[in-house]
A and B are shown apart, each in its own frame.
Chain A
């Protein structure tokens, strides 16, 4: 069996931290040796881009999957790509965009692994049209606790498939994923920027444009209050057809301008993100934008934060928490107003606040549901935990839920109230992993599997 490295890990939010034996297999047999060894529990970890404790396993074992990153088959007729779990979304774009294919769903960063993306069932700006990544996954090879590799899909072991998509790595270790890439004519997005003076205008913009635009997202200025509560910049777009590109770009439609990649060199001091700093930034950012048509390259459109490497360091060593919640459609407006008002009253402020409309969704532990989702991030302070507990109560009351891939503090009873299919998920989990060999800090914290 390969040797571990004893090390301290955190998620992207730098909170919490956990010490584990970390393995990094370079071959399938090495992975199997780690998974099947009669030792402590194990969780797979991709690029470490989950914000909280999903890929931590304090006192237990973590398997870094990044070296199992081989692309195994591609069919240019169907767009079906089979790869190992450690391949990143960015690698898929690098290899396939110039051939006219793009991942069907991309999250806000391209530095995530495919295995992690399936385990978190990530969504993107096109959820209202495309649903989450799992909707485009055709099959998964899952390594079970016994070392057996089980193929699951909609047809074969379908329960295990839907428990694994969004299952946070707890049904087994995702070894291979097959997904259908989308055919695109260019690397550009033809769209517009729309300014919304308040939350009702923002919602109205999403509703009005959802058929017209496949991709939509709004950035909310959290400094707005009362009549301008929820004022936001709505980005809308579709993949640009080759013909619609300006002539100079038409020659090489898959070529985009190179990006500068400044890196945040060290953890910034905590006052950098004081509530005053957050509000100033938000007000200025809102004032910088004007409504109108716009052509975006895919990196600016999908991955604005990827331009700044290690941007999580702006929050300093204390780290930050992401809080992303969703409400059912009928409760969304009230939920949004209630939450934005609560944040304004609380005064702490969220640095980046993002609003998006979700469409239909499958999966047992997948986060999305038809309705509106709000993503917030907060530098960690003493008062924050208590405040987020209050937000949880408000979300549960309206039948909503929070996103496990970003979570670091949800309580077990709240989790169960938010995820009604957790019971069904647990039955499947117990069936494939009766000894609970796959576990993580997240799993233990929210009580998966938990004694009943």
Chain B
């Protein structure tokens, strides 16, 4: 039986992923900023699957509490086999581009907070020589764009961090998977849907499938890999003139 810690559990993708793992018999510690919401989610998972799901609160930017929070979660689960990092926020990009405080807040929610919690989990899993970490990044980290470079740079940094961590953890038999997520039909994209937008359930299915086959980096949905491959090849001088 897997014992999993899911961070940012109230996002629709996290909910679907949690349901997938719970259906397979995992027991879950679900954490998010909003206790009432995460408690509702825990009930939902237990009612639907019969799995054990407990809930807790954390904030990615409150670094000082991370160690205690992490220990509590592991104790509650009776051990840890995997951690899934689903938190992250677009934030107010326009404001962040002119206000350093807001820019740093976006970095904390998407990068430094994740680094702090992933480091704790990595240490634990490395010692036990088994387990996995899944972290959800974004295709926005593939190339800096005027529209969302603060958010994008945080996701790029997260991808690089995970890449290095993956190499180190491989020696201990710990699986680290980076998800590069495209546009998913959630509140982040509501009102800005495109033909490339996919349902959160479908995204979670792809992530679960990739984890099952031991993928290291996965684009979700898959077509973002060739799209971003081409976008990355466009020379800077041209990219600046096209409004992507």
Contact A27 B10 (CB under 8 A): yes
Chain B contacts for A334, CB-based, 8 A: none
**Shortest Cβ distance from B196 into chain A, in angstroms?**
17
Most buried by A among B43, B190, B193: B190
User: Is residue B241 within 8 Å, beta carbon to beta carbon, of the partner chain?
Assistant: no
**Shortest Cβ distance from A382 into chain B, in angstroms?**
35
**Shortest Cβ distance from B185 into chain A, in angstroms?**
9
User: Is residue A424 within 8 Å, beta carbon to beta carbon, of the partner chain?
Assistant: no
Chain A contacts for B48, CB-based, 8 A: 71, 95
Contact B47 A3 (CB under 8 A): no
User: Is residue B186 within 8 Å, beta carbon to beta carbon, of the partner chain?
Assistant: yes
User: Is residue A73 within 8 Å, beta carbon to beta carbon, of the partner chain?
Assistant: yes
Say which one of B34-42, B99-107, B126-134, B135-143 lies at the interface with A: B34-42
* Number of residue pairs A-B, CB distance < 8 angstroms: 46
List residues 6-50 of chain B with CB under 8 A from any CB of chain A.
10-12, 34, 36-37, 40-41, 43-44, 47-48
List residues 171-193 of chain B with CB under 8 A from any CB of chain A.
186-187, 190-191, 193
**Shortest Cβ distance from A119 into chain B, in angstroms?**
21
How many A residues, CB 8 Å from partner? 21
Chain B contacts for A71, CB-based, 8 A: 43-44, 47-48
**Shortest Cβ distance from B90 into chain A, in angstroms?**
12
**Shortest Cβ distance from A381 into chain B, in angstroms?**
34
Chain A contacts for B11, CB-based, 8 A: 26
Q: Which of A6, A24, A27, A72 contacts B47 (CB 8 A)?
A: A72
Mark each residue of chain B from 46 to 67: 1 if its CB lies under 8 Å from any CB of chain A, else 0.
0110000000000000000000
Chain B contacts for A311, CB-based, 8 A: none
- CA A30 – CA B11 in complex, angstroms? 13
Q: Which of B43, B186, B193 contacts A73 (CB 8 A)?
A: B43
- CA A123 – CA B230 in complex, angstroms? 55
Mark each residue of chain A from 56 to 85: 1 if its CB lies under 8 Å from any CB of chain B, else 0.
000000000001001111100000010010
A26 to B, closest residue via Cβ: B187
Interface residue ranges, B against A (CB under 8 Å): 10-12, 34, 36-37, 40-41, 43-44, 47-48, 186-187, 190-191, 193
Interface residue ranges, A against B (CB under 8 Å): 2-6, 24-30, 67, 70-74, 81, 84, 95
17 additional A-B residue pairs with CB within 8 Å, beyond A2-B187, A72-B40: A3-B191, A5-B193, A6-B191, A24-B190, A26-B10, A26-B12, A26-B186, A27-B10, A27-B34, A28-B36, A30-B187, A70-B40, A70-B41, A71-B47, A72-B47, A73-B47, A74-B47
Closest 9 CB pairs of A and B: A5-B191, A70-B44, A71-B47, A72-B43, A70-B40, A74-B47, A71-B44, A95-B48, A27-B37
